[in-house]
Amino acid sequence: WSYTICRHPNYLGEILFWAGLFGAGSVSFGKSIVPWACGGLGLWGILSIMLGASAGLDKKQAEKYGEQPDYVEWKRKVSSSVIPFFK
């Protein structure tokens, strides 16, 4: 069912994993700006990597499967590449 809400649920899982680590670790950050900045940069980095990788994979899949009616229909139904309900 996960492929009905986004085209790359494995990348979504990776993002959720790192966001969970950030959230769990944030209780120890306190008021210091350094851990917040470092953690935020790390989270932004993994988000950038996953979104970039999914865009590349979308392009590669379109080249390989773009003419197949099932792929075209699936891509039309599942508009979100990684983050559900966002294009």
For the segment 28-76, what is each residue's pLDDT rounded down to a tens digit? 999 999 999 999 999 999 999 999 999 999 999 999 998 999 999 999 9
Token pair in block for residue 13: 């899982």
As a residue count, the chain comes to 87
Comparing 35 with 79, which gets the higher pLDDT? 35
Instruction: Find where tokens 């983050």 sit.
Output: 83
* Lookup result for tokens 């966001």: 19
Q: Cα–Cα distances in Å, from 15 out to 29, 62, 73? A: 20, 23, 26
Type of residue numbered 87? K
Under 8 Å between Cβ of 50 and 14: yes
Is pLDDT at 1 greater than 80 in this prediction? no
Of 13-17, 31-35, 81-85, the range with the lowest mean pLDDT is: 81-85
At 74 the pLDDT is: 92
Quote the pTM value: 0.83
